[in-house]
Amino acid sequence: MREILYRDALNEALRYNLEKDERVFIMGEDVGVFGGIFGVTKDLYRDFGEARVMDTPISETAIVGGGIGASINGMRPVVEIMNVDFLPVCLDQVANQAAKMRYMYGGQVALPMVIRSACGGGRGAAAQHSQVLHALFMHIPGLKIAVPSTPYDAKGLLNTAIADNNPVMFFEDKMLYNMKGTVPKKFYTIPFGEADVKREGNDVTIVATFRMVHKSLTVAEELSKEGIGIEVIDPRTLCPLDKETIIESVKKTGKLITVDEGNKTNGFGSEIAAIVSEEAVEYLQAPIVRVAAPMTPVPYGPTLEKFYTPDEGNIKEAVQKVMAYA
């Protein structure tokens, strides 16, 4: 099977949906002529024109608000908020309008809208351009959340998101855009709410997101030489969340580590830990360990940013900690 970049997998999904459904259109800052700040919408403006791939003013509230209005009138917009750090600017539109409107109108309107946004550090972009905020949106009822970690998942999940009649937050790790992976040319979808076991193991369960999936897989490969079998689970979507796969894994291994680039306090790992504590605590043989970023803004300096961001060393320490209870 051919290998393509993460960004190109997303581009293929957008292109396919623009071709097959005239109701689909893209809007956002620099998505048109420039082809997207990260190259995801490259050539789409050229091939579909400004009526389908719209460059917008620098107004996140207007972008999301326009998407909401279009979606409730029968269109299927894919709106881009360039960086996840900018989503708080339009939080009212996301949290109080898009997320609640279908519920408040008793299902009389649909909101088939995708909000794409890039997240994560690693590029020296400092505190206002490097955050990972998916946990913030997990707390808002009415939103679906996709967090693809591979080119294959990116294309399949985006196809699913565009076909959904509910608002979908589609977060992309900016450090994965240049990652290559096997992706079919044909159209395919990945169901929301189905986690992927990226690696099987019997000793420790790791639930990870975005590029932390790949860091966890690296550690799993290294520690397999020491006889430690690590099972790596990628949830792929956070809302809905496939908690059954996670719980079944914990029942098998008896140990749980969560690995996430977001802040540790009230983060993604906290929710996974709470679910397992409520529904599978009798299977735990060691305390749950969360590997995540500290509760500070993302530093600008490269040395501090590297220290701030969870890495393979942090994951190894977590494995050693839980294995001490074996």
Domain boundary among 133, 153, 182: 182
CATH number at residue 274: 3.40.50.920
DSSP code, position 287: -
At residue 226, the 3 state secondary structure works out as coil
Q: Does 44 lie in the same domain as 133?
A: yes
In residues, how long is the chain? 326
Are 97 and 68 a contacting pair, CB within 8 Å?
yes
Are 103 and 142 a contacting pair, CB within 8 Å?
yes
- Specify if 263 maps to a domain: yes
pLDDT per position as a tens digit, 145-204: 999 999 999 999 999 999 999 999 999 999 999 999 999 999 999 999 999 999 999 999
Q: Which residue has the tokens 């397992």?
A: 276
pLDDT per position as a tens digit, 297-322: 999 999 999 999 999 999 999 999 99
Q: What is the mean pLDDT of residues 207-231?
A: 98
- Give the global pTM: 0.96
Report residue 125 CA to chain centroid gap. 19
pLDDT at residue 67 in the model? 97
At residue 172, the 3 state secondary structure works out as strand
pLDDT at residue 272 in the model? 98
Pairing of strands 237-239, 144-146: antiparallel
- Specify if 168 maps to a domain: yes
Q: Does 214 lie in the same domain as 171?
A: no
Are 39 and 177 a contacting pair, CB within 8 Å?
yes
CATH number at residue 14: 3.40.50.970
Q: Does 216 lie in the same domain as 146?
A: no
Q: Does 251 lie in the same domain as 145?
A: no
Q: Does 282 lie in the same domain as 237?
A: yes
* pLDDT bucket at 48, cuts 50 / 70 / 90: very high
Q: Does 177 lie in the same domain as 207?
A: no
For all residues of the chain together, what is the average pLDDT?
97
pLDDT per position as a tens digit, 241-296: 999 999 999 999 999 999 999 999 999 999 999 999 999 999 999 999 999 999 99
- Specify if 191 maps to a domain: no
- Specify if 111 maps to a domain: yes
Q: Does 38 lie in the same domain as 148?
A: yes
- Specify if 190 maps to a domain: no
What residues are annotated to the active site?
A: 129
Beta strand residue intervals within 85-166, DSSP E: 114-119, 144-146
**Could you give the number of structural domains in the chain?**
2
pLDDT at residue 1 in the model? 82
Domain holding 205, by residue range, is 196-323
Q: Does 143 lie in the same domain as 78?
A: yes
pLDDT at residue 326 in the model? 73
Burial per residue of 287-310, b for 16 or more beta-carbon CB atoms within 10 angstroms, e otherwise: ebbbbbbeeeebbeeeeebeebbb
pLDDT at residue 215 greater than cutoff 90: yes
- Specify if 232 maps to a domain: yes
- Specify if 189 maps to a domain: no
Q: What is the mean pLDDT of residues 60-77?
A: 97
pLDDT at residue 130 greater than cutoff 80: yes
Percent of the chain's residues with pLDDT above 70 = 100
Q: Does 207 lie in the same domain as 269?
A: yes
Burial per residue of 195-220, b for 16 or more beta-carbon CB atoms within 10 angstroms, e otherwise: bbebbebebbbbbbbbbbbbbbbebb
